[in-house]
Chains A and B, each alone.
Chain A
Amino acid sequence: DQQVKQNSPSLSVQEGRISILNCDYTNSMFDYFLWYKKYPAEGPTFLISISSIKDKNEDGRFTVFLNKSAKHLSLHIVPSQPGDSAVYFCAASGLGGNNRKLIWGLGTSLAVNP
Chain B
Amino acid sequence: DAGVTQSPTHLIKTRGQQVTLRCSPKSGHDTVSWYQQALGQGPQFIFQYYEEEERQRGNFPDRFSGHQFPNYSSELNVNALLLGDSALYLCASSGGISNQPQHFGDGTRLSIL
Q: Which residues of A contact B (CB under 8 A)?
A: 4, 32, 34, 36, 41-46, 49, 51, 89, 91, 96-107
A99–B31 CB distance below 8 A = yes
> How many whole Å from A3's CB to the nearest CB in chain B?
11
- Provide the residues of chain B in CB contact with A49, threshold 8 Å: 99, 101
Answer yes or no: B72 CB below 8 A from chain A CBs. no
- Provide the residues of chain B in CB contact with A105, threshold 8 Å: 42
Count chain B residues whose beta carbon lies closer than 8 angstroms to a beta carbon of A: 29
User: With the chains together, A44 CA to B91 CA distance in Å?
Assistant: 10
Q: Which residues of B contact A (CB under 8 A)?
A: 4, 31, 33, 35, 40-45, 48, 50, 56, 58, 90, 92, 94, 96-107
Chain B, Cβ-Cβ closest to A39: B106
- Provide the residues of chain B in CB contact with A102, threshold 8 Å: 33, 35, 43, 45, 92, 102
- Provide the residues of chain B in CB contact with A107, threshold 8 Å: 42
Across the interface, B58 reaches (CB within 8 A) one of A32, A42, A43, A101, namely A101
Across the interface, A98 reaches (CB within 8 A) one of B45, B90, B94, namely B94
User: With the chains together, A95 CA to B4 CA distance in Å?
Assistant: 25
Given A96-B98, A106-B41, does the pair A101, B48 have CB atoms closer than 8 Å? yes
Given A43-B107, A103-B45, does the pair A98, B99 have CB atoms closer than 8 Å? yes
B40–A106 CB distance below 8 A = yes
User: With the chains together, A46 CA to B56 CA distance in Å?
Assistant: 22
- Provide the residues of chain B in CB contact with A106, threshold 8 Å: 40-42
17 more CB-based (< 8 A) A-B contacts, given A46-B103, A102-B43: A32-B99, A36-B104, A43-B105, A44-B90, A45-B104, A89-B42, A89-B43, A98-B94, A98-B100, A99-B31, A99-B48, A101-B45, A101-B48, A102-B33, A102-B45, A104-B42, A106-B40
A98–B41 CB distance below 8 A = no
A-B contact pairs, 15 of them (CB 8 A): A4-B42, A43-B90, A43-B106, A44-B104, A46-B104, A98-B97, A98-B102, A100-B56, A101-B45, A101-B48, A102-B33, A102-B35, A102-B43, A104-B43, A106-B42
